[in-house]
Structure 1
């Protein structure tokens, strides 16, 4: 069963499952989900807790010893296991063996990083999904961040006017930890409600954060202003221009291969399947191909080549100028981009 962090409270009221797997790339939501499960477990008599990291040096026998022994002071215990980026064959086998040890007085809290589609098809992931709820925790995207902030404000008996809430989404996109901290500080100030834009701009320091992968989707969607904003922030955060060239090269190359396959009479779905384009990204790719014709994609590729050449000669400023021009080049227009 798949649960999302906001569903945990209702789920816990019906009773704890023997095992939970909390995974994802959002540290605040992951920590809060685990804390909520720990509190519920303590309330039900799980007073003893053991924590292990499933790295290469883990002594798995020590986990099994802990799972099968009870102390004099506690009849119920929690075993927490933190999974690494990848599990080798031994770890996968031992993890599945551990899941067979579940009983009424043992709660397994397993956490891990964000998983791709291939990892979610592995035997160990399927075993975890069968043993108990899986709880994915991801950073809300721009569409859902406003709702998350509104609920967070409400938790602290705060509210914000629409334009103030919109400003908050821009100020803290990709950084929920900072947003939570600022909201807690606002709750201590006893400000008039609802909070206004002017009040927030006076009291709150923006702390937005992006990762390089977040640049791709807005560009494919033709949201150039957003793409340029993310690009500027990535540069300020110290992301290397060469990394962005690599990611954009893969994206443009995929678009070109899809375009060529469709020109040969293949359906988009067949071509995307052969190129191993994730199903979640196929609508983005298809929409981009509907907007961007062959000359436009070729022009974008030439811009990227110029940026890559600047990286190779350590001309960082020129590389970023070409990347900026490339982002603008994703504008939805009928004319091909003319290179200077």
Structure 2
């Protein structure tokens, strides 16, 4: 049974299932969901707890043994199985399918996984878990949704802020949901319930953003120069390797160029996106970006990427002068604008 994350608390108030699965890359939200299940388990008499982590040396017999072992005190048991890679392997796949078919009435099992890619999500062991378990797939909080998420969290502690304040927090904690949670809690400790002023937020919230080189394309596709500048400066300050940044940007330009060329030939965008395996939030960003960018601009941007590559390698570049990071910024802004 698939269950929306926001419905978990209501579900646990009514019943408790023998098997739960949490799949998410948002560690904070996954932890909060798991904590709700643990609290419900304790309240229902599952007083013992076994934690198993699937690592290279993990033996799947340990899961079977944990499920069959009787409690020394006759209590019910919570078994947590953590699969950090989301890839249990052939033996694990067979073990999970067998486990899902033979759940012990004396145990509650909680399986935690990262967000599965489309290929892994079709595996037989995932299908078995989805059929036997309460399966909670927690989506990532994308940048566009982050101010709303922060506003909801503030409301839960009887506080609120205007859009400027929410955007300010989102800018400072981008890519770091746990830091966002901590900053929101800090505001709850520092200020009384009610409307927070921008000055109160500005003075309290630290710059704890964690920048991801692969999110650069998101800012570039969205045509958001301010965010792009902030991310590049953050990556540079964190010591990110410039060749990796250039590769990520150049790959996005190549993809845009292929899509634009296909559209110029009269091919539908939907078919092109499918052909290049583009889906999800990135798919939704492609159409407005392609409307904004012309074929000559993309061709020139790809040539400029080659010039930036020369600068990174210590060679002279015709298109740019000065620092390679500045050249990288000019290149990315050409696409964002």
TM-score normalized with structure 1 length: 0.88
Q: Find the counterpart in structure 1 of residue 323 from structure 2.
A: 318
Query: In the TM superposition, what are the counterparts of 1:145-156 in structure 2 within 5 Å?
Result: 145-156=146-157
Q: CA shift at 1:9, angstroms?
A: 0.9
Q: Relative to structure 1, is the Cα distance of residues 289 and 5 closer, same or farther in structure 2, using a 3 angstrom cutoff?
A: same
* Contact 2:305/2:331 (<8 A) preserved: yes
212-221 or 264-273, which moves further after superposition?
Answer: 264-273
Structure 1 residue 52: Cα displacement: 0.8
Q: Comparing 261-270 with 146-155, which one deviates more in the overlay?
A: 261-270
Contact 1:139 1:174 survives alignment (8 Å): no
CA distance in 1, matches of 2:90, 2:72: 36
Rounded to whole Å, the distance in 2 between the matches of 1:161 and 1:281 is: 28
**Residue 38 of structure 1, CA deviation:** 0.4
Q: CA deviation at 1:331?
A: 4.2
Alignment-derived partner of residue 69 in structure 1: 69
Matched, 1:205 2:210: no
The size of the alignment, in residue pairs, is: 331
State the shift of 1:230 in Å.
1.9
Shift of 1:192: 6.8
Residue 176 of structure 1 deviates from its aligned partner by: 2.0
Q: Is the 8 A contact 1:164 1:197 kept in 2?
A: yes
Deviation of 1:100 (Å): 1.8
Alpha-carbon distance between aligned partners in 1 of 2:80 and 2:173, rounded to the nearest angstrom: 31
Structure 2 matches for 1:114-133, cutoff 5 A? Answer: 114-133=115-134
Residue aligned with 1:330, SS: helix
Please give the alpha-carbon distance, in whole angstroms, between the structure 2 residues aligned to 1:148 and 1:228: 24
Q: How far apart are residue 120 of structure 1 and its match? A: 1.2
Unaligned runs of 5+ in 1: 333-340
Distance 1:75 1:314 in 2: 70
Q: Say whether 1:78 aligns with 2:78.
A: yes
Over the aligned positions, Cα root-mean-square deviation in angstroms equals: 2.3
CA distance in 2, matches of 1:150, 1:286: 29
Matches of 2:79 and 2:65, distance apart in 1: 11
Equivalent residue, structure 2, for 1:159: 160
For the residues of structure 2 that align with 1:164 and 1:271, how far apart are their CA atoms? 39
CA shift digits 1:49-93 (9 cap, x unpaired): 111111221121121111012213243211111113233212211
Question: Is 1:27 equivalent to 2:32 in the alignment?
Answer: no
TM-score, normalization: structure 2? Answer: 0.89
Alpha-carbon distance in 2 for matches of 1:234, 1:284:
22
Deviation (angstroms), 1:259: 2.7
Deviation by residue 1:175-196 (Cα, 9 ceiling, x = unmatched): 2212222333333334473221
Distance 1:3 1:300, change over 3 A: farther
Distance 2:108 2:138 in 1: 20
| TM-aligned CA deviation for residue 150 of structure 1 | 2.1
Conserved 8 A contact 1:18-1:102: yes
Query: What do residues 17-65 of structure 1 show as CA deviations (whole Å, max 9, x unaligned)?
Result: 2222212222211111111110011111111111111122112112111
Contact preservation (8 Å) 2:308, 2:327: yes
SS of residue in 1 equivalent to 2:194: coil
Question: SS of the counterpart of 1:37?
Answer: helix
Alpha-carbon distance in 2 for matches of 1:42, 1:154 = 28
Following superposition, the deviation at residue 110 of structure 1 comes to: 0.7
Give yes or no for the alignment of 1:254 onto 2:259. Answer: no
Output the CA distance in 2 between the equivalents of 1:262 and 1:202.
49
2:319 — aligned with what?
A: none
Which residue matches 2:101?
Answer: 100
Comparing 84-93 with 151-160, greater Cα deviation is found at 151-160
* 8 Å Cα contact 2:273/2:283 also seen in 1: yes
Q: Aligned in 2, Cα 1:262/1:151: closer, same or farther, shift over 3 Å? A: closer
Q: Name the residue aligned to 1:336.
A: none
**5+ residue gaps, structure 2:** 317-321
1:245 aligns with 2:246: yes
- Distance in 1 between residues matched to 2:22 and 2:252, nearest whole Å: 30
**What is the CA-CA distance between 1:200 and the residue it aligns to?**
2.1
Rounded to whole Å, the distance in 2 between the matches of 1:293 and 1:287 is 12
SS state at 1:78 partner:
strand
